Amino acid sequence: MTNPNLEPCFNWRGRYEEDHTPWDLGGAHPGLVDWMRENPANGRAALVPGCGRGHDALALSQAGWRVDALDIVDLAGETLGDSYTQIGSRFLVTNALDFDPEGSLGQGAYDLVYEHTIFCAISHEQREIFGANLARCVKPGGLLLSLLFPTNKPSDEGGPPFRATPDELATALGESFELLEDEAWVPTSGGRRWAERRLVFLRR
Ligand SMILES: C[S@@+](CC[C@H](N)C(=O)[O-])C[C@H]1O[C@@H](n2cnc3c(N)ncnc32)[C@H](O)[C@@H]1O
């Protein structure tokens, strides 16, 4: 039986079927590209939950990360072609709320988990579950990189995207994570409707 606490709050599949995916930047987020310049992969393993069409996952993979990109919708990963899998990275159709890094799909806990518009796609009621699962996915000493959005959206406007502030993300992650960096992100390419920040957390 499916667990109602783990059900997505939105018809994501419908958006891919209609090809109506306004969140898709068409390429890797510049905040990730900048971060990768200062953080060499050295063959480490990264997890990209809610990867969508996978532009960020592909960029991480091309930079030398062993990437598992996951999405609850199979159609999301259709654009990730051979160039992605040939370098050892994978697209997995699974739920980020109960993905088990030690289970049959996972490759053990990851050195990096990259959050880009997946936290804001999770309902407020499910954020604690999401945060607890991220703690299972990141190795002690590993990092969570978040391009957090939309930090200044009025909460009464609902979602997705649901408002996501640094405090809200820190609360969802709990005591297992320590905030190392929090900086405002100024979009260089048109940007999104609401503000973004780039945060780095250390898994204790
Ligand atoms: C706003 S989109 C962001 C996609 C991608 N990160 C990007 O920035 O282009 C949110 C994505 O998360 C996926 N998603 C939503 N809930 C999910 C869940 N519980 N587990 C895995 N993927 C989920 C959706 O299918 C969608 O592709």
Average pLDDT over residues 76-95: 87
Q: What pLDDT, on a 0 to 100 scale, did the predictor assign at position 136?
A: 97
For residue 186, what pLDDT band results from cuts at 50, 70 and 90?
low
- Model-level pTM? 0.95
Query: Does the beta carbon of 73 lie inside 6 Å of ligand 1?
Result: yes
Q: Distance, CA 48 to ligand 1 centroid (Å)?
A: 10
Which segments of 94-192 are extended strands (E)?
Answer: 110-116, 138-148, 177-185
The span from the CA of 114 to the CA of 145, in Å, is 5
Residues 130/96, Cβ–Cβ less than 8 Å: yes
Q: Is the pLDDT of residue 97 over 80?
A: yes
For residue range 41-65, list pLDDT tens digits in order: 999 999 999 999 999 999 999 999 9
Task: Report the range of poorest mean pLDDT among 48-52, 66-70, 75-79, 157-161.
Answer: 75-79
- Whether residue 1 is predicted with pLDDT greater than 60 in this model: the reply is no
- Any idea which of 69-78, 84-93, 163-172 has the lowest mean pLDDT? 84-93
Distances (CA, A) of 146 to 63, 86, 151, 170: 18, 27, 12, 11
148 pLDDT band (50/70/90 cuts)? very high
Are residues 153 and 161 in contact, defined by beta-carbon separation less than 8 angstroms?
Answer: yes
The yes or no reply on domain 30-203 and CATH 3.40.50.300 is no
Contact 41/63 with Cβ under 8 angstroms?
A: yes
Rounded to the nearest 5°, which phi and psi values hold at 67? -105, 135
Q: Does residue 162 line the site of ligand 1, with CB under 6 A?
A: no
* Mean pLDDT on 184-196: 70
**Residue with tokens 């905030």, as numbered in its chain:** 179
Give the Å distance between the CA of 44 and the centre of ligand 1.
23
CB 69 within 8 A of CB 90: yes
Portion of the chain with pLDDT greater than 90, in percent = 80
For ligand 1, say whether the CB of 23 is within 6 Å of any of its atoms: yes
49 CA from centroid of ligand 1 (Å): 7
Residue 177 banded pLDDT, cuts 50, 70, 90? very high
137: pLDDT strictly greater than 90: yes
Residue 22: predicted pLDDT: 92
Give the pLDDT confidence of 2-35 residue by residue, as tens digits. Answer: 677 888 889 999 999 999 999 999 999 999 999 9
